[in-house]
């Protein structure tokens, strides 16, 4: 199986603090994988290094064989990697559909000159973008509230809108930062189905950070476990669940000793 994303020895130091050290992962094309670990383990830092928000102190990122290290976030997105944020970051004053349309901008061919002159090509493309954005809203079940302002939407809808917006950039690789945060068990269950659906429908490879173990174990085929920036384990759900190092990281040394 070919690897879509490979990281080699990614290390991020903030002054004296080593947030992530020597993170190496190979993610197979079309898989759903997870990145887990206790709070402050460096998961989001990994995301930020892959998506260009941080420039890694050491190490390299390869996407589809091409090196991405040191690229700026918008170039990474253009290359085909989209992400969502742990603390939702929508364009609050814009409507739901405008949020998704903004995601399409990176693939838009006609520019502002054509918009001002109202050339047929630009009008057609804007219409296509609008239609496609509507379809994407439909996929995440928000078609009915397309004209609502993003910051007036309920929390769950905002999470789904963020995913729709990420999909609008036509990614081949999607990074989800805690998609199940704040969801009840029923919603988490739906989310798992949803993640699998978009993987097939949009031909995606998905990497997610998640604290909800039910979701991680249910949906991920492979995962990496970070603790204090160090990769302490990797493997399938069963292997991870029975790995003493992982149990120790999550539950503490004491618990393991007396369990």
Partner 1 sequence: MNRSTTILLNLVLVGCLGLFLWWAEGNLDGYKIQILNLIAVNIILALSLNLIYGFTGMFSLGHAGFMAIGAYVCSILIMTPEQKVTLFILQEALPWVQNSHAPFLVAVIAGGAVAALFGLVIGAPLLRLGDDYLGIATLGFAEIVRVIANNIPRVTNGALGFKGIPDHANLWWNYGWCLLTLYFVIRILNSNTGNVFKAIRDDETAAKAMGIDVFRIKLLSFTFGAFFAGVGGALLASLLTTIDPKMFLFTLTFNVLMIVVTGGLGSITGSILAGTGITVMLEWLRFVENPVTIGDWTLPGIPGMRMVVFSLVLILVILFRREGIMGMREIHWGTVARFMKGGKA
Nearer CB in complex with partner 1: 136/240: 136
- Region near partner 1 per CB under 8 A, out of 55-63, 136-144, 161-169, 241-249: 161-169
User: CA 80 to CA 15: how far, in whole Å?
Assistant: 31
Which 3 state secondary structure label does DSSP give 100?
Answer: helix
162: left (phi over 0), alpha (psi -120 to 50) or beta: alpha
How far apart are CB 162 and partner 1 at their closest, in Å?
9
Q: Which part of the chain contacts partner 1 (CB under 8 A), choosing from 62-70, 97-105, 193-201, 216-224?
A: 97-105
Q: Which of 43, 132, 159, 165 binds partner 1 (CB under 8 A)?
A: 165
Residue 242 as a binder of partner 1 (CB under 8 A): the answer is no
Tokens representing residue 104 in the block = 């399409």
Is 51 a residue that touches partner 1 (CB under 8 A)? yes
Q: At what angle do helices 120-139 and 155-168 cross, to 10 degrees?
A: 140
Dihedral (C-alpha) 230, 234, 237, 241: value to the nearest 10 degrees? Answer: -50
User: By CB under 8 A, which span of 8-16, 17-25, 88-96, 207-215 interacts with partner 1?
Assistant: 88-96
94 binds partner 1 (CB under 8 A): yes
Kindly list the distances between the CA atom of residue 128 and the CA atoms of 59, 103, 124, in Å, as whole numbers in the listed order. 40, 13, 6
Does the footprint of partner 1 cover residue 72 (CB under 8 A)? Answer: yes
Quick one: 26 or 110, whose CB is closer to partner 1? 110
Q: State how far the Cα of 93 lies from the Cα of 2, in Å rounded to an integer.
A: 41
Compute the distance between CA of residue 215 and CA of residue 165 in angstroms, rounded to an integer: 22
In contact, 115 and 126? CB cutoff 8 Å? yes
By CB under 8 A, the residues from 102 to 131 that bind partner 1 are 102-106, 108, 111-112, 115-116, 118, 122, 126, 129
Of 51 and 231, the one with the shorter C-beta distance to partner 1 is: 51
Positions in the binding site for partner 1 (CB under 8 A): 51, 53, 72-74, 77-78, 82-83, 85, 89-94, 98-99, 101-106, 108, 111-112, 115-116, 118, 122, 126, 129, 165-166, 169
């Amino acid at each position: 199986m070919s690897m879509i994303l490979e990281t080699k020895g990614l290390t991020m130091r903030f002054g004296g603090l080593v947030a992530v050290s020597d993170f190496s992962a190979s993610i197979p094309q079309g898989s759903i994988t997870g990145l887990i670990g206790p709070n402050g383990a460096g998961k989001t830092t990994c995301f930020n290094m892959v998506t260009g928000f941080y420039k890694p102190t050491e190490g390299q990122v390869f996407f589809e064989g091409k090196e991405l290290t040191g690229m700026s976030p918008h170039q990474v997105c253009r290359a085909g990697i989209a992400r969502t944020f742990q603390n939702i970051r929508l364009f609050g004053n814009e409507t739901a559909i405008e949020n998704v349309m903004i995601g399409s901008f990176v693939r838009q061919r006609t520019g502002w000159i054509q918009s001002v002159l109202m050339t047929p090509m630009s009008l057609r493309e804007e219409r296509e973008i609008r239609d496609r954005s509507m379809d994407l809203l439909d996929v995440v079940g928000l078609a009915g509230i397309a004209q609502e302002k993003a910051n007036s939407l309920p929390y769950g809808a905002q999470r789904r809108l963020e995913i729709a917006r990420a999909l609008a950039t036509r990614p081949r690789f999607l990074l989800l930062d805690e998609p199940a945060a704040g969801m009840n068990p029923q919603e988490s269950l739906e989310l798992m189905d949803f993640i699998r659906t978009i993987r097939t429908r949009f031909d995606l490879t998905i990497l997610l950070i998640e604290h909800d173990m039910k979701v991680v174990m249910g949906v991920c085929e492979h995962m990496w476990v970070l603790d204090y920036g160090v990769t302490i384990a990797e493997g399938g759900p069963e292997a991870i669940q029975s790995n003493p190092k992982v149990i120790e990281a999550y539950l503490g040394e004491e618990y393991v000793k007396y369990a």
